[in-house]
């Protein structure tokens, strides 16, 4: 959807805010996600690292990794955001909730982003 999750909801498509499904999905592929978890030092050594911070804006403003780009989760799938997330970059996902960081990483992997990591 061009305008992300907000656009999806505005078009009256159903949205679900159920963490159980997300948790089940994460548990099924835990070993895959264990390989994606990375430290900041290791991430900085990757080819073209791009830190993408999905925490709320207040937490981002309070303190964030140098060079990180703040993205509100609702805007993740907007056309401008998808154009900015270059598949040639190593994307490092930052989020306080492991389930959501995993869901974001999984979504990007399913969209053929080859180098997606989760910051520990």
Q: What is the pLDDT of residue 82?
A: 74
Per-residue pLDDT tens digits for 46-94: 999 999 999 999 999 999 999 999 988 777 777 777 776 888 899 999 9
State the Cα–Cα distance between residues 44 and 4, nearest whole angstrom: 29
**DSSP result, 5-46:** HHHHHHTT------HHHHHHHHHHTHHHHHHHEE-HHHHHTS
* CATH code of domain 4-11+31-119: 3.40.250.10
* Percent of the chain with pLDDT strictly greater than 70: 76
Q: What is the pLDDT of residue 24?
A: 57
Tokens of 72: 């509100």
């Amino acid at each position: 959807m061009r305008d992300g999750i907000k656009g999806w909801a505005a078009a009256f498509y159903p949205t679900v805010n159920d963490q159980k499904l997300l948790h089940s999905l994460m548990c099924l592929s835990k070993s895959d996600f264990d390989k994606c978890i990375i430290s900041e030092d290791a991430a900085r050594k990757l080819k073209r690292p791009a830190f993408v911070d999905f925490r709320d804006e207040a937490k981002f403003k309070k303190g964030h990794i140098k060079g990180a780009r703040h993205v509100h989760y609702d805007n993740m799938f907007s056309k401008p955001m998808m154009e900015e997330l270059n598949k040639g970059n190593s994307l490092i996902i930052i989020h306080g909730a492991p389930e959501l960081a995993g869901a974001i990483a999984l979504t990007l992997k399913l969209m053929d982003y080859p180098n997606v990591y989760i910051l520990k």
